[in-house]
């Protein structure tokens, strides 16, 4: 099978999406899939992509809105010239060239978010452009891969009646060492994310820090100016590379995932950063249902998905943290998150799509 991957992405090699794409392509190659990766980006430096993907990679750079349309067309024309069996596209804003692609080749979309909500978080043309054009692509695609069950059930996806599967985000477990538990008596919690996304719940991390002044809290990603009140027990590092933040994770007893997904109107997630925490062996506190853990597991504390989930569960959080002070999550407990397992399911779905075209 020959698969062309088409992605619009502007972040570097420490982003979860970058790591996911690289691990997917690497796994597909092992499983005998011939893959080409077409990256459309406003960032002119593709060195990291080239280093990891080499001959599999084709890049298309744009500067402004006009050149963005041209970059997409060039990427699509390159795919047409390659004549792959199937195209896998990380769902993005509609481009006319993508519509042409879906007419001529089996196109499978990866759906990572509720686009109607996300593109309308800020007012502007992007929201209305997406609302007006999304159907031009969705009714033409061969199938969809959703990262959560909740997304697959949204009416504005389900109404197109396309074949679909649900595959939560995975991780290449072999790339992550199981970190030893820290030999310290004072609890240390870590959060890796950004400070500009309300659903991540940075303010709730600060609530925890305020209630437990003896505990230490490390925030990786947010900058100091994004934190309204920096407490004495809160340490803000800003954006770090994986190599830089790995020692911070090694010092931590427990990691914090998103605590306010309700602000985004969602109940379920499979975030890449939580998979990374677990791969390193850290137990996790989250505020939503995880796609890959349908029942409770001892190493994930799932709080209610509500505004007051910290204030009303302080004793539960305290018990969980002290229980996991000198433990790590066993690798066998998260084996189903491995990229090899995930990509076997994805490839099987691709094969189903191709059989239906015959």
Q: Residues 114-124: pLDDT tens digits? A: 999 988 877 78
* Mean pLDDT computed over 332-340: 98
- CA separation for the pair 321, 284 (Å, rounded): 9
* Mean pLDDT computed over 313-330: 97
Phi first, then psi, for residue 275 (nearest 5°) are -60, -35
Q: Residues 170-197: pLDDT tens digits? A: 999 999 999 999 999 999 999 999 878 8
The pLDDT score that the predictor gives to residue 56 is 85
358 pLDDT exceeds 70? no
Residues 105 and 253 in one domain: no
Beta-bridge partner residues of 164? 144
Residues 165 and 268 in one domain: no
Positive or negative, the CA dihedral 343, 345, 348, 349 is negative
* Mean pLDDT computed over 108-131: 90
**CA distances in angstroms from 217 to 178, 211, 227, 306, listed in the order given:** 21, 12, 13, 22
Residues 154 and 188 in one domain: no
Residues 155 and 180 in one domain: no
Residues 221 and 118 in one domain: no
Residues 99 and 189 in one domain: no
Residues 120 and 232 in one domain: no
How many residues are there in the chain?
Answer: 358
60: domain CATH number?
3.40.50.2000
Q: Residues 289-313: pLDDT tens digits? A: 999 998 899 999 999 999 999 999 9
Residues 317 and 216 in one domain: yes
> Taking phi first (over 0 means left), then psi (-120 to 50 degrees means alpha), and beta for anything else, what does residue 14 get?
alpha
Residues 77 and 19 in one domain: yes
Residue of higher predicted confidence among 304 and 17: 304
The pLDDT score that the predictor gives to residue 72 is 95
Nearest to 285 by CA among 248, 247, 323, 250: 323
Residue of higher predicted confidence among 46 and 302: 302
Number of domains in the chain: 2
DSSP 259-320: S-GGGGT--EE--HHHHHHHHHT--EEESSEETT-SS--TTEEE--SSTTTTGGGHHHHHHH
Residues 117 and 150 in one domain: yes
Q: Give how far the C-alpha of residue 107 lies from the chain's centroid of Cα atoms, to the nearest Å.
A: 21
Residues 83 and 192 in one domain: no
DSSP classification of residue 233: T
Compute the mean pLDDT over every residue in the chain, rounded to the nearest whole number. Answer: 94
Residues 179 and 233 in one domain: yes
7-16, 130-139, 263-272, 285-294: least confident range: 7-16
Which residue do the tokens 């390659």 mark?
Answer: 82
Expressed as residue numbers, the domain containing 84 is: 2-171+338-357
- CA separation for the pair 89, 96 (Å, rounded): 14
150-159, 220-229, 249-258: least confident range: 220-229
The pLDDT score that the predictor gives to residue 210 is 97
* Mean pLDDT computed over 60-79: 91
Q: Residues 200-248: pLDDT tens digits? A: 999 999 999 999 999 999 999 999 888 888 899 999 999 999 999 999 9
- CA separation for the pair 195, 197 (Å, rounded): 6
Grade residue 132 by pLDDT with cuts at 50, 70 and 90: very high
Which residue do the tokens 């004495």 mark?
Answer: 232
The pLDDT score that the predictor gives to residue 95 is 94
42 pLDDT exceeds 90? no
DSSP classification of residue 326: T
Grade residue 47 by pLDDT with cuts at 50, 70 and 90: confident
Q: What is the pTM of this model?
A: 0.93
The pLDDT score that the predictor gives to residue 157 is 98
- CA separation for the pair 196, 182 (Å, rounded): 30
């Amino acid at each position: 099978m020959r698969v062309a991957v088409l992605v619009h992405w502007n972040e570097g090699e420490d982003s979860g999406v970058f790591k996911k794409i690289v691990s997917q392509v690497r796994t597909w190659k092992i499983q005998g899939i011939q893959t080409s990766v077409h990256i459309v980006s406003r960032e002119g430096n593709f060195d990291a992509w080239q280093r990891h993907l080499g001959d599999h990679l084709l890049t298309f750079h744009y500067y402004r809105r006009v050149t963005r349309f041209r970059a997409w067309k060039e990427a699509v024309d390159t795919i047409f010239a390659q004549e792959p069996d199937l195209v896998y596209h990380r769902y993005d804003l509609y481009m006319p060239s993508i519509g042409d692609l879906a007419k001529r080749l089996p196109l499978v979309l990866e759906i990572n978010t509720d686009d109607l909500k996300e593109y309308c978080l800020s007012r502007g043309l992007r929201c209305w452009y997406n609302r007006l054009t999304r159907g031009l692509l969705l009714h033409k695609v061969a199938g969809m891969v959703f990262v959560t069950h909740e997304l697959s059930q949204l009416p504005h996806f389900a109404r197109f009646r396309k074949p679909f599967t649900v595959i939560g985000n995975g991780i290449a477990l072999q790339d992550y060492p199981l970190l030893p538990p820290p030999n310290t008596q004072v609890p240390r919690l870590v959060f890796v994310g950004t400070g500009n996304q309300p659903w991540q719940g940075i303010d709730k991390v600060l609530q925890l820090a305020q209630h437990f002044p003896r505990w230490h809290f490390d925030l990786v990603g947010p900058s100091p100016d994004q934190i309204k009140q920096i407490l004495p027990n809160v340490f803000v590092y800003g954006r770090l590379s994986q190599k830089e933040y790995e020692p911070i994770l090694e010092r931590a007893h427990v990691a914090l995932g998103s605590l306010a997904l309700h602000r985004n109107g969602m109940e379920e997630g499979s975030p890449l950063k939580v998979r990374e925490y677990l791969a390193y062996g850290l137990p996790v506190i989250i505020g939503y249902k995880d796609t890959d853990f349908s029942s409770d597991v001892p190493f994930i504390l799932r709080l209610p998905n509500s505004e007051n989930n910290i204030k009303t569960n302080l004793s539960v959080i305290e018990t969980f943290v002290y229980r996991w002070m000198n433990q790590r999550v066993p690798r066998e407990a998260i084996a189903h998150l491995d990229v090899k397992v995930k990509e076997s399911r994805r490839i099987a779905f691709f094969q189903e799509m191709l059989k239906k075209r015959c």
